Amino acid sequence: MDSQILVIFGASGDLAKRKLIPAVYKLHKGGYLPEKFIVLGVSRTDYTDEEFRNNVFEDSDFLDSNKDADFADKLFYQAIDTLSEESYSKVRQKLERLGEEHHIAPNYIFYLSVPPSLYPKIPAYLAGEGLNKQDKGFSRLVIEKPFGYDETSARELNEQLLEYFEEEQIFRIDHYLGKETVQNLLVTRFGNGIFEPLWNRNYIHHIEITAAEEIGVGSRGGYYDKSGALRDMVQNHLLQIVALMAMEPPNSTDADAIRNEKLKLFQAMRPIKKEEVSQYAIRGQYISSEVDRDLIKGYREEEGVPNDSTAETYVALKFFIDNWRWADVPFYIRTGKRLPAKATEIVVYFKSPPHHLFINEQDFTNMNNQLIIRIQPDEGLLLQFGMKVPGAGFRVKNVEMDFHYSELTDAEVPEAYERLILDVMKGDATLYARGDSVEAAWQFIDPILEAWEANPDIKLYGYPAGTWGPEAARKLIEGENVSWRTPCKTLTESRNFCEL
């Protein structure tokens, strides 16, 4: 890997201290960093290099060994006014000086860990100093979500970024795609002959994706109220999972090949018309409830949330993908806060056999085989199918065959940010969102948001904290003896009620 400098804008902020620097440190500890590598923190706070290092490692055990001290020596800092174009000459000068002192080529990664309002400005100011050019090395730009607030703002942001950086230089980071189990979706689908032939409308009844959180909004109420669950979780994280689950096989594992298939998938999603929103999209907001003898506040009672807020903390969607593979197969998505368990998983429901020989057996009322892919926690796969119970007759019972990532004891599963930062260092954009796909995802989401904002008659359901959301969401799922799977903290446990 080429020598390089990682420049983190917003380096004194929470994300840099809690996620980015620790991820780079773990890469260093694992021997993944180039031999010549530096992190330059840039922010408004007036730190010296040493003060920045002390701040990064405050209340941590990073400096317990000589190797940790070696890593600290790679950290440097430059204080600037991020809103002042003139200040960016200091960044250029610092980079040039560090490059000369440490014999590092002008290969730069600019990570924008800053408010979205700065996304258009920082690239322009960097370009003003020539830091976007790649004539002597590479220059890459990493931005965090949100990638716009709707399709219009997403398109505007892309146009602003492309004015100064090429698409191949821009890395839109979605930490969900850095999870090992999300990446394994491609291997599960395209690396196993027992799955790929069945992965279509002929054998699959429906696909369900759940991203449940036990926590509420906490101190993020002010931010969350402007976002809501549809923008915060569905438009980015969950639609990316849908793309990996449903896209056509790419012709290679090249980044463009995979991202091209994702774009085609987003373009094939059947739009939900504004007049259909109440039929296909259910929104909810958690209300106060007693859970395990503790009184849990409702969303409108959280810090920074207006008393009349209509922001959804829960959303469930039903939609279709209009292509040859998935014609008329329903897809279901749900996500919410203050649900009974923290779990993100995919459930593939296979169709029942055409002739129901054993449908009346009391222990085998649900004839649908299920493949459960658990993304977090207790990562793994679970396959449910029917087996005959020993004894006379044909008494059939559902049994399970499971695999857990924890069983790979010799394999160290990297954190999402570790994998994604390493990929941008290598120039691998496979797990990063491309601009046209971001716009296509917003194009699907926008009519739902517009209908909710324009039509006060569309219901916002209250659901008690600690429950699985509004009752209306259960009615989205079609089919006899079919309902949402109830995930628990462990992959193999599934009950109507989970321990909190």
Query: Of all helices (H) and strands (E), which one includes residue 388?
Result: strand 380-388
Strands (E) located in 164-237: 170-173, 204-212
Integer Cα distance of 334 and 194 in angstroms: 28
Which ranges of 150-238 would DSSP assign to H, the alpha helix?
A: 151-162, 180-190, 221-225, 228-229
- Residues 347/477, Cβ–Cβ less than 8 Å: no
Distance between CA atoms of residues 72 and 56, nearest Å = 9
Cα 150 to its chain centre, rounded Å, is 18
Per-residue pLDDT of the chain (500 residues; tens, 9 = 90+): 889 999 999 998 888 888 899 899 989 988 899 989 999 999 999 989 988 888 887 756 665 555 577 888 899 999 999 999 999 999 999 999 999 999 999 999 999 999 999 999 999 999 999 999 988 899 999 999 889 899 999 999 999 999 999 999 999 998 888 777 787 888 888 988 888 899 999 999 999 999 999 988 888 888 888 889 999 999 988 999 999 999 999 998 888 999 999 999 999 999 999 999 999 999 999 999 887 778 889 999 888 899 999 999 999 999 999 999 999 999 999 999 999 989 999 999 998 777 666 655 554 455 578 899 988 888 888 887 776 777 666 677 777 788 877 777 666 666 788 989 999 999 998 889 999 999 999 999 999 999 999 998 899 999 999 999 999 998 888 766 678 888 877 776 655 444 44
Distance separating alpha carbons of residues 368 and 482, to the nearest angstrom = 8
**CA 339 to centroid of chain Cα atoms:** 18
What tokens does 495 get? 């009950």
Give pLDDT, residue 500: 40
- Give CA–CA dist 458/314, Å, rounded: 14
- Residues 310, 228 contacting (CB under 8 angstroms): no
**DSSP string for residues in 66-98:** HHHHHHHTTEEEEE--TT-GGGHHHHHHHHHHH
Query: Are the C-beta atoms of 240 and 174 separated by less than 8 Å?
Result: yes
Position 404 scores a pLDDT of 79
Residue 107 · residue 6 · CB < 8 Å: no
Active-site annotation, residues? 237
Question: What is the C-alpha to C-alpha distance for residues 24 and 359, in angstroms, rounded to an integer?
Answer: 55
